[in-house]
C-alpha cells in the first residue's frame, strides 16, 4: 500500500477518534523543495521546484452551525472560530494559515456552513519544506469542496499566499503554494512568476535529491525575510529610474546592467539585488542543461546559487554552509545549496543514485563532527500536487 494511503487512513482514524464521526472529505498537499531560483518568485522571476513525498492531510465534515472547530492532530490542540469572520490568533499561530484560507474563500463566496476539521502531516518542521503552504493548499481544497466552490490552481495558490501575508505576517511569493498544487510525479516544476505559466522538466533517473536537515531555526517571521524583499523592491525602483527599458521588478534587470549601475546603490542593496537577478539567469541556464542531460552542469549551478545566498543575500547560516562545503568533496554529489527561505532549515543535494547511501553517511558524519549531532538525511521523490483523496 502506498505511503499516502496509510496516511489517509491515519487521518481518517484520528478524525473519527476526536470528533466521533468520519470526515466527508480528506485532502492532501505536498511540501516543496526549491531546487534552483531562490527568492525570485516575488521578483517576478523563474524557479525550478518540486512537490515532494512528504505532506499534510486535512479532513473535514460539515457542522450544523457556523463554527469551525479545527484540531492539529500532531499536537492535539483545538481552536474554534466563526466561519464567516476568522481572525488571526496570537497564541495558536499554527491555525492562522487555515484561518487565512477560510477568509480567502469567503472573498470568493461567503461560507455559511461550519466544519469540524483536522490536520495531520509528516513534513519535517523547520526543514525548509514549506509545511505552511501544504497546510494552506489542502485546507483550501477541502473547504472549497465542502462549500461547492470550484477553484483553479493559481486561484488556490493566491488564497494561500494571502493567508501568509495577512494572517502569518510573511510577505512570501507564490512559489511554495504553486509548487504544492502543480507538482508532477517524477518531474521538476518550472514556474514563471510573471506570467504564472507552469511547465514540467524531466531530470535524469540516474540522479536523485538528498535532503539534509540541520534543524537550525528559521527566522522568517522576525523580519529578515521582509527586509530582503524590501531591498529588492528598492533596487527595482532604482533600476526603473536609470535603465532605458521598462523595469517593474528585478526580473527585468540583467547582471551586466546591475554591474553597470551598481554605484547608484548602497552595497547591501546591490548585493541583495544581485542574488535574484543571478538566480533567474541560473534557472534559465539550468532548464537548458537538464533538457540536454547535463546534470554535472546543473549541479555546478546549484553550488553557484548557494554561494550567492551566502555572500549576496546573506540568508544562509553556518550549519547550511558546513553541509554545502562538505558536498564539494563527496563522491557522487553533483551540486548542493540551501532550499527555501534560508536562515536555517535544509540543504538539498543532487546525487548520483548509486552513491546516495554513501553520500548521506558522509553528510551526517561531517555535520556531527562539527556540531555534535548528525543532520537528518532523506531521499526525496518528486510527487504529484495537492488533491482530494
Q: Which residues are catalytic?
A: 176
Reported in sequence order, the residue ranges of the chain that DSSP labels E, i.e. its strands, are: 25-36, 46-62, 67-72, 77-82, 115-121, 188-192, 197-201, 207-216, 333-339, 345-352, 376-380, 387-388
Angle at 272 between CA 32 and CA 375, to 5 degrees: 40
Contact 157, 191 (CB under 8 A): no
Buried b / exposed e along 146-185 (16+ C-beta atoms within 10 A): bbeeebebbbbbbbbbbbbeebbbbbbbbbbbbbbbbbbe
Query: How far apart are the C-alpha atoms of 164 and 41, rounded to whole Å?
Result: 15
Contacts of 288 (CB under 8 A, 6+ apart): none
Q: Give the whole-angstrom CA distance, residue 56 versus residue 143.
A: 15
How many other CB atoms are found less than 10 A from the CB of residue 63?
Answer: 16
Q: Is 140:104 a contact under the CB 8 Å cutoff?
A: yes
Based on the number of CB atoms within 10 Å of its own CB, is 369 exposed (0-12), middle (13-18) or buried (19 or more)? exposed
Amino acid at each position: 500500500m502506498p505511503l499516502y494511503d496509510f496516511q489517509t487512513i491515519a487521518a481518517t482514524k484520528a478524525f473519527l477518534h476526536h470528533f466521533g464521526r468520519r470526515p466527508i472529505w480528506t485532502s492532501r498537499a505536498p511540501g516543496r523543495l526549491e531546487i534552483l531560483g531562490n527568492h525570485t518568485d516575488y521578483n517576478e522571476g523563474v524557479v525550478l521546484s518540486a512537490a515532494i513525498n512528504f505532506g499534510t492531510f486535512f479532513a473535514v465534515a460539515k457542522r450544523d452551525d457556523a463554527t469551525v472547530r479545527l484540531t492539529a492532530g500532531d499536537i492535539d490542540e483545538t481552536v474554534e472560530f466563526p466561519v464567516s469572520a476568522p481572525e488571526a490568533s496570537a497564541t495558536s499561530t499554527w491555525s492562522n494559515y487555515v484561518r487565512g484560507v477560510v477568509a480567502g474563500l469567503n472573498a470568493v463566496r461567503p461560507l455559511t456552513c461550519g466544519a469540524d476539521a483536522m490536520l495531520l502531516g509528516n513534513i519535517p518542521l523547520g526543514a525548509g519544506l514549506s509545511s505552511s503552504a501544504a497546510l494552506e493548499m489542502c485546507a483550501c481544497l477541502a473547504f472549497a469542496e465542502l462549500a461547492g466552490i470550484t477553484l483553479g490552481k493559481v486561484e488556490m495558490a493566491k488564497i494561500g499566499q494571502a493567508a501568509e501575508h495577512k494572517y502569518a505576517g510573511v510577505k512570501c511569493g507564490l512559489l511554495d503554494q504553486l509548487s504544492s498544487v502543480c507538482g508532477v510525479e517524477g518531474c521538476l516544476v518550472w514556474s514563471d512568476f510573471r506570467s504564472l505559466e507552469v511547465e514540467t522538466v524531466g531530470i535524469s533517473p540516474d540522479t536523485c535529491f538528498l535532503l539534509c536537515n540541520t534543524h537550525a531555526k528559521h527566522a522568517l517571521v522576525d523580519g529578515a525575510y521582509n527586509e530582503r524583499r524590501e531591498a529588492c523592491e528598492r533596487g527595482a525602483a532604482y533600476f526603473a529610474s536609470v535603465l532605458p527599458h521598462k523595469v517593474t521588478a528585478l526580473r527585468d534587470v540583467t547582471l551586466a546592467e546591475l554591474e553597470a549601475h551598481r554605484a547608484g546603490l548602497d552595497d547591501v542593496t546591490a548585493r541583495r539585488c544581485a542574488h535574484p537577478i543571478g538566480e533567474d539567469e541560473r534557472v534559465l541556464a539550468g532548464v537548458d542543461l537538464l533538457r540536454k542531460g547535463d546534470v554535472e552542469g546543473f549541479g555546478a549551478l546549484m553550488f553557484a546559487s548557494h554561494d550567492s545566498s551566502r555572500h549576496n543575500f546573506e540568508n544562509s547560516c553556518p550549519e547550511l554552509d558546513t553541509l554545502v562545503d562538505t558536498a564539494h568533496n563527496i563522491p557522487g554529489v553533483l551540486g548542493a545549496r540551501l532550499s527555501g527561505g534560508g536562515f536555517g532549515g535544509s540543504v538539498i543535494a543532487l546525487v548520483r543514485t548509486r552513491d546516495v547511501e554513501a553520500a548521506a553517511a558522509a553528510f551526517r558524519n561531517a555535520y556531527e563532527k562539527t556540531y555534535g549531532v548528525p543532520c537528518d538525511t532523506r531521499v526525496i521523490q518528486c510527487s504529484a500536487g495537492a488533491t482530494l483523496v
